[in-house]
Structure 1
Amino acid sequence: MIETNMHDQASGLRRLTQPTSTKVITVTGGKGGVGKTNVSLNMAVAMAKQGKKVMVFDADLGLANVDVMLGLRSTLNLSHVLAGRCELEDIIVEGPYGVKIVPAASGTRSMAELNEAQHAGLIRAFSSLEEHVDVMIVDTAAGISDMVLSFSRAAQDVIVVVCDEPTSITDAYALIKILSREYQVPRFKVVANMVRSYREGRELFTKLTRVTERFLTANLELVACIPLDDNVRQSVKRQKLVVDAAPRSPAALALNSLATKAATWPVPSNPSGHLEFFVEKLLMRPQSEMMGERLSE
């Protein structure tokens, strides 16, 4: 009986001392206008409705629009954090269903021209947040700037959003090529957005994989085909999200399915060896596990 109680206490202490990892998903695409922010925010709200604690980091630092799309007003943003006027936790605002939003600055050239060291400082700053988050979605800028590359390789999963346009496919390939060859990012999740049918989405994915399989070793997985749906445009005009404003619409159903699937993607239990979001909390995990193991002996 005493032995059982000691084991129960040890298990309880082990749960208390083990930090819970945060799943970090970067949503990018290479080209502007493919719907990255719309995918990011709808995924976030869908996950929150499923009971997850979700944060969205608006990583388009110079042309932020996440708060605008949600109809939110934020008096502080990342530019104030970098200027030393406040801490990261001071700028966080709450969106629909409790989603936490980290707003960036809009129309601020200096924010778009941060150097690699400043990007690294921002990434490290997230480890200082005390409130636990289950999932953080990083909504990047368009293009293949150092900013996009830094935030993409600091995540555990990279979603590449593409639409059926030659420039979208070309720019997505360029982004995947750089991340794969220069930064050893091995896997990419692909979302075919604004497609007229699942078949069109598959064909779009085939166009992309045809060139990546020929020249790269990266692994691509088609995780969603989001249909072209006027409900999305109508929701954006009203500063609403389609998963909330028209939950039974084709686009909303596809986005909810993507969110459910993304929630099952595994979170690594140890750091990858390079700079990543919440890495300090991952570094704490082995020590906590050792403490729990000693308690159970």
Structure 2
Amino acid sequence: MASFDFDQAEGLRRMLQGPRPRIVTFLSATPEDDKGAMLVNLGASLAQLGNEVLIVDACEREYGVARRLGIQRAATLAHVARQECGLNQVLHAVPQGFSVASLGLAQRSEGDADARRLAKTFDVLVKQAGIVMVDGELGPDGELPLPLMAASEIVVQVGTSATSITNAYALIKHLSQQLGRRPFGILVTGATEAEAKVVYDNMSTAATRYLAVTLNSMGALPADEYLHRAARLGRSVVDAFPLAGASVAFRQLAGKFALHALPQAVRGGGTQFGA
């Protein structure tokens, strides 16, 4: 079997190669707060490297990034789609160095027409962005809310527990049945490199054998008390505790992520979203 390090590099290359904009939708098989914490710290790490980062909170039930950062009651992209506000009014710069926008829901009374307007609004937004990370969840119908999210790169966050691994595999099976044969990224959190390798190898073997699906390793992020300390301070771990093990891991992941997402690095202040 190929080495875990090679799998990580090859997985990142496959998941993030291609023209801008890069959109990566993150789904989780871990406790609800884990994904939001991971995205805040990854976004901050990418911003520290000089990248223009937008996180779109597409969660309605889960504990999304907007709620985590206290901006969940703000106007959403759904309001823009209904022409109730401008695009610049839904983009919020946060102290961690990136921007956040909430998706919102299409109005049920408007049906497909409102959903199409929301999809077009999202398309306009991401074309102005550098790196777009979607804090995602499946809707009541078991589908992603927008076609562009379904067509984006999809990364599943998984822990080391049997329950998390089982849930992640079930999620991948469900997605592959809906979206057809396609690769999925696997990011193992709360794990050492050795633990993450075991999780990834087992899931990859099962997905290849029983689903004919290729999984790509996105690496590992360790459990670290400094993550919780930084969150209580309202800061990212890479800013508050730059020498912590989690900070080192996030910087490494962000470096690989940015390298493959942006072949030509964005320098300077970058373009203002929604300008």
Q: Same fold (TM over 0.5)?
A: yes
Instruction: Note if contact 2:96-2:235 (Cα within 8 Å) is conserved in structure 1.
Output: no
The residue number in structure 2 matching 1:221 is 216
Instruction: Note if contact 1:26-1:151 (Cα within 8 Å) is conserved in structure 2.
Output: no
Instruction: Note if contact 2:27-2:155 (Cα within 8 Å) is conserved in structure 1.
Output: yes
Q: Classify 1:114/1:45 alpha carbon distance in 2 versus 1 (closer, same or farther; 3 Å).
A: farther
Cα distance in 1 between the residues matched to 2:34 and 2:113: 29
Instruction: Note if contact 1:60-1:141 (Cα within 8 Å) is conserved in structure 2.
Output: yes
3-state SS in 2 of match to 1:52: coil
The residue number in structure 2 matching 1:276 is none
Instruction: Note if contact 2:80-2:121 (Cα within 8 Å) is conserved in structure 1.
Output: no
Aligned pairs for 1:241-280 within 5 A: 241-265=236-260
The match for 1:174 among 154, 170, 173 is: 170
Structure 1 vs Structure 2: percent identity of aligned residues? 24
Letter in 2 for 1:141: E
Q: Classify 1:132/1:77 alpha carbon distance in 2 versus 1 (closer, same or farther; 3 Å).
A: closer
The residue number in structure 2 matching 1:132 is 128
The residue number in structure 2 matching 1:123 is 119
Give unmatched runs, 5+ long, in structure 2: 1-18, 263-275
Q: Does 1:204 align with 2:199?
A: yes
3-state SS in 2 of match to 1:75: coil
Q: Classify 1:131/1:199 alpha carbon distance in 2 versus 1 (closer, same or farther; 3 Å).
A: closer
Q: Classify 1:130/1:69 alpha carbon distance in 2 versus 1 (closer, same or farther; 3 Å).
A: closer
**Aligned-pair distance for 1:165?**
1.7
The residue number in structure 1 matching 2:144 is 147
The residue number in structure 1 matching 2:47 is 48
**Aligned-pair distance for 1:60?**
0.4
* TM-score, reference length from structure 2: 0.75
Cα distance in 1 between the residues matched to 2:167 and 2:110: 22
* TM-score, reference length from structure 1: 0.70
3-state SS in 2 of match to 1:101: strand
Q: Classify 1:49/1:185 alpha carbon distance in 2 versus 1 (closer, same or farther; 3 Å).
A: farther
Instruction: Note if contact 1:179-1:185 (Cα within 8 Å) is conserved in structure 2.
Output: no
**Aligned-pair distance for 1:56?**
0.5
Which region of structure 1 is more displaced relative to structure 2, 253-262 or 171-180?
171-180
Q: Classify 1:83/1:119 alpha carbon distance in 2 versus 1 (closer, same or farther; 3 Å).
A: closer
Aligned pairs for 1:86-97 within 5 A: 86-96=85-95
**Aligned-pair distance for 1:247?**
1.8
Work out the number of aligned pairs and report it.
244
Cα distance in 2 between the residues matched to 1:258 and 1:187: 19
In our comparison, the structure showing a higher alpha carbon Rg is 1
